[in-house]
Structure 1
Amino acid sequence: MTVAMSALTRRYLWLGRSGFFGLFVLMPLWVLYLVPPQMGSSTTLLALLWGPLFLPLWGIVQGKAYTFAWANFIVMWYFIHSLTHLWISSGLVFWLAVLELLLSSLMFVGCTYYAKHRGKELGLKIPKLKDDPIGPTR
């Protein structure tokens, strides 16, 4: 049985996917073509920056609400990476970091609210402590 997706949920799906696929394209372009590393291996750097994006790839393509929820843990890596470069870099690297921050923000907001709204549509929820019949444990 398929559950219909509201227009708002579809917008958040589009937002999350846009940020994700933007990062998925940006990372190899940045490392291999636009600003290759001056020290170290570009292959190692690419594995560190691009590799984590392969973990949620299939679930994001399929629109799985659970994947969108835990993908937010991965996007934190890109927040930190972009903010570090915004602080220490200039020129092209600075603007690539601005783009990375924008894409990671889009992904974060889209994934958060898609998981929330789609989870509600599917009847999924995390029980709150006040809903627990035993009560909170201390």
Structure 2
Amino acid sequence: MAQTFRYLTLTGYFGLFALMMLWPTVLAAAPQIPVALVLIVTVTPLLLLVRGLLAFNPKSYAWAGFISLLYFAHGAVEVYANAGARWLAGSEILFSLLLFFGSALALRFRRQAP
């Protein structure tokens, strides 16, 4: 059961990572904000987790749950404030919830495994 939620976590993680890479560069680039700055701010927290998530490190899964809430909050604000990018913000909310619930449930069921 823990493996199923691990894959759910990784789906949310890589979906969020791809979205955060594509949103400011290809899908809806903002000309007034430097793209490199946006990528540093949005992608760096995700890059800090990749090694631990792939290795199924419990601390990384716990931190992934915490960090995913930042992306959820950002997506919720963008859904309300930016009508042109609602589908992107909705995708961010979906991936952040997959990451949050997947990591929480993977940790829960990993502890219960013998």
TM-score category, normalised to shorter length: over 0.9
What's the counterpart of residue 33 of structure 2?
A: 40
Instruction: Determine which structure has greater relative contact order: mean sequence separation of CA pairs < 8 Å that are 6+ residues apart, divided by chain length.
Output: 2
Deviation at 1:64, TM superposition (A): 1.4
Deviation at 1:119, TM superposition (A): 2.6
What's the counterpart of residue 108 of structure 2?
A: 116
Larger Rg, first or second structure (1 or 2): 1
1:1-138 to 2 correspondence within 5 Å? 8-91=1-84, 93-121=85-113
Matched pairs, number: 114
Percent identity over paired residues: 31
Unaligned runs of 5+ in 2: none
Aligned-pair RMSD on alpha carbons?
Answer: 1.2
The letter for the 2-side match of 1:120 is: Q
Q: Which is helix-richer, 1 or 2?
A: 2
Determine the C-alpha separation between the residues in 2 that align with 1:66 and 1:49: 21
Is the contact between residue 23 and residue 103 of structure 1 (CA under 8 Å) also seen in structure 2? yes
TM-score normalised by L of structure 2: 0.94
Q: Where do 4+ consecutive residues of structure 1 move more than 4 Å?
A: none
Unaligned runs of 5+ in 1: 1-7, 123-138
TM-score normalised by L of structure 1: 0.78
Determine the C-alpha separation between the residues in 2 that align with 1:115 and 1:10: 10
